[in-house]
Amino acid sequence: MSEIRLFVTSSEKQVEAVLDVMSTIFEDEDFAIATMEIDEKRDVWEASVYMMADEEESVRVRLVEALAADFSHLPIEREVLPDIDWIAKSLEGLAPVRAGRFVIHGSHDREKVRTGEIAIEIDAGQAFGTGHHGTTAGCLEVLASVAHTRPVRNVLDLGTGSGVLAIAAWKLLHVPVLATDIDAIATRVASENARRNGVVTGMTFATAPGFHSTAFSANGPFDLIIANILARPLMKMAPQLVANLTPGGSVILSGILAEQRWKVLAAYNGQRLKHERTIWRNGWVTIHLTK
Ligand SMILES: C[S@@+](CC[C@H](N)C(=O)[O-])C[C@H]1O[C@@H](n2cnc3c(N)ncnc32)[C@H](O)[C@@H]1O
């Protein structure tokens, strides 16, 4: 089935406002949303939402409705994207990513690892997390800095995807790591990636939505919790997440668009966590808080 892009074209300022509207209506769903500069001199930009062909009509109806109030003058255009083997394509373009002391690379780039780097080998596959997304790279950067400043005896990676953050924490800290995901395929991929990266003991995997598993009480509470999910589930889970954190422990949250950060901070301040630092990468923020 083809992939479709629905988009509007305008100035950078208007396109940013349209992107805000798009993120509000589609924030809990899997549709990718992006802005792109078309012509720098003429200030021409596009805001796009991507979907599969069978979802186009319902997305279009919602988009027209949401843009009606302030942007009805902007026509919604459409592009059918060519069918591409995305996994092969993404592998071709995946250069190693460096964040803190970490380098995340595909198996085709093993020789590019430099002395002193902590290398994590992840090939693009069925689970999210090759290090190229701003949220993953942001978590790695904060992880490296947290490890310098605080003793960490165990780690929880909630929403592990490819396992990249769990493997990074294990390689950096040499402590037990629990890696969980709502998606059983992700948990399987994460454990295969862990094995491929030389993790033999000290890492536990569980498939669980949020904190609904005995794995959390069996392995926690945790000195460090990393959760790269999305703003809304992170806000909802704040009480349980903080209950699973040791006093003095650290939380690294990502999957949060810059404009959503205040709501997420409010949810965690409400649980008496202290804000330490927020970093930005490609429009996404990663937040470090302590208990
Ligand atoms: C953005 S990916 C992050 C993957 C990886 N940790 C990284 O940083 O690259 C989010 C992951 O969280 C998982 N997820 C989403 N909602 C979840 C929930 N309520 N409980 C556990 N995992 C969840 C998804 O299946 C997905 O693998």
pLDDT tens sequence across 207-231: 999 999 999 999 999 999 999 998 9
Do 62 and 135 lie in one domain? The reply is no
User: Which residue is closest in CA terms to ligand 1's atom 17?
Assistant: 182
Count of domains observed in the chain: 2
Provide residues with CB under 6 Å of ligand 1.
127-129, 135-136, 139, 158-161, 164-165, 180-183, 186, 209-210, 228-229, 233, 255
Strands 44-52, 77-81: pairing is unpaired
Question: Is it the case that residue 22 has pLDDT exceeding 80?
Answer: yes
pLDDT on residue 84: 52
Write the DSSP assignment of 194-223 as a string of letters. Answer: HHHTT--SSEEEEE-STT-STHHHHH-SEE
Residues making up the annotated binding site are 136, 159, 181, 228
pLDDT on residue 81: 74
How many Å lie between the centroid of ligand 1 and the Cα of residue 106?
20
Tell me, yes or no, whether 106 lies in a domain: no
State the CB neighbour count (10 A cutoff) for residue 105. 23
Do 142 and 282 lie in one domain? The reply is yes
pTM, entire model: 0.72
pLDDT on residue 83: 64
User: Which residue is closest in CA terms to ligand 1's atom 1?
Assistant: 229
Do 75 and 136 lie in one domain? The reply is no
User: Which residue is closest in CA terms to ligand 1's atom 24?
Assistant: 159
How many Å lie between the centroid of ligand 1 and the Cα of residue 60?
27
pLDDT on residue 170: 96
Q: Which amino acid is at 169?
A: A
Do 157 and 68 lie in one domain? The reply is no
Tell me, yes or no, whether 209 lies in a domain: yes
Side-chain-side CA neighbours of residue 60 (13 Å): 14
Q: What is the pLDDT of residues 160-208, one digit of tens each?
A: 999 999 999 999 999 999 999 999 999 999 999 999 999 989 999 999 9
State the CB neighbour count (10 A cutoff) for residue 84. 10
pLDDT on residue 18: 93
- Counting atoms of ligand 1 from 1, which one is nearest the CA of 161? 27
Do 19 and 153 lie in one domain? The reply is no
How many Å lie between the centroid of ligand 1 and the Cα of residue 71?
33
Question: Is it the case that residue 86 has pLDDT exceeding 60?
Answer: no
Do 73 and 195 lie in one domain? The reply is no
In this predicted model, which residue has the larger pLDDT, 178 or 232?
A: 178
- Give the DSSP H or E segment for 258: none
Mean of per-residue pLDDT scores for the chain: 88
Q: Which amino acid is at 279?
A: I
Do 77 and 132 lie in one domain? The reply is no
> Domain of 141?
127-290
Dist CA 238 CA 234 (whole Å): 6
- Counting atoms of ligand 1 from 1, which one is nearest the CA of 135? 8
pLDDT on residue 95: 76
How many Å lie between the centroid of ligand 1 and the Cα of residue 3?
23
Dist CA 226 CA 15 (whole Å): 32
Residue 80: band (very low, low, confident or very high) from pLDDT cuts 50, 70, 90: confident
Question: Is it the case that residue 92 has pLDDT exceeding 70?
Answer: no
Task: Name residues whose C-beta falls within 8 Å of residue 51's C-beta, 6 or more positions apart in sequence.
Answer: 3, 4, 6, 31, 59
Tell me, yes or no, whether 143 lies in a domain: yes
Last residue of a domain, one of 59, 81, 103: 81
Tell me, yes or no, whether 275 lies in a domain: yes
3-state secondary structure of 74: coil
How many Å lie between the centroid of ligand 1 and the Cα of residue 39?
35
Here the CATH number for the domain that contains residue 23 is 3.30.70.120
User: Which residue is closest in CA terms to ligand 1's atom 12?
Assistant: 159
Last residue of a domain, one of 23, 51, 81: 81
Residue 239: band (very low, low, confident or very high) from pLDDT cuts 50, 70, 90: very high
Question: Is it the case that residue 125 has pLDDT exceeding 70?
Answer: no
Here the CATH number for the domain that contains residue 278 is 3.40.50.150
Lowest model confidence (mean pLDDT) among 15-19, 95-99, 111-115, 149-153: 95-99
Do 137 and 74 lie in one domain? The reply is no
DSSP H helical segments within the chain, as ranges?
12-26, 56-71, 86-93, 134-149, 164-173, 184-196, 215-219, 231-236, 238-243, 261-269
Do 144 and 247 lie in one domain? The reply is yes
What average pLDDT does range 19-35 have in this prediction? Answer: 80
What average pLDDT does range 29-37 have in this prediction? Answer: 75
In this predicted model, which residue has the larger pLDDT, 132 or 116?
A: 116
Do 72 and 200 lie in one domain? The reply is no
Q: What is the pLDDT of residues 200-213, one digit of tens each?
A: 899 999 999 999 99
Do 57 and 200 lie in one domain? The reply is no
Lowest model confidence (mean pLDDT) among 24-38, 52-66, 176-190, 273-287: 24-38
Do 268 and 134 lie in one domain? The reply is yes
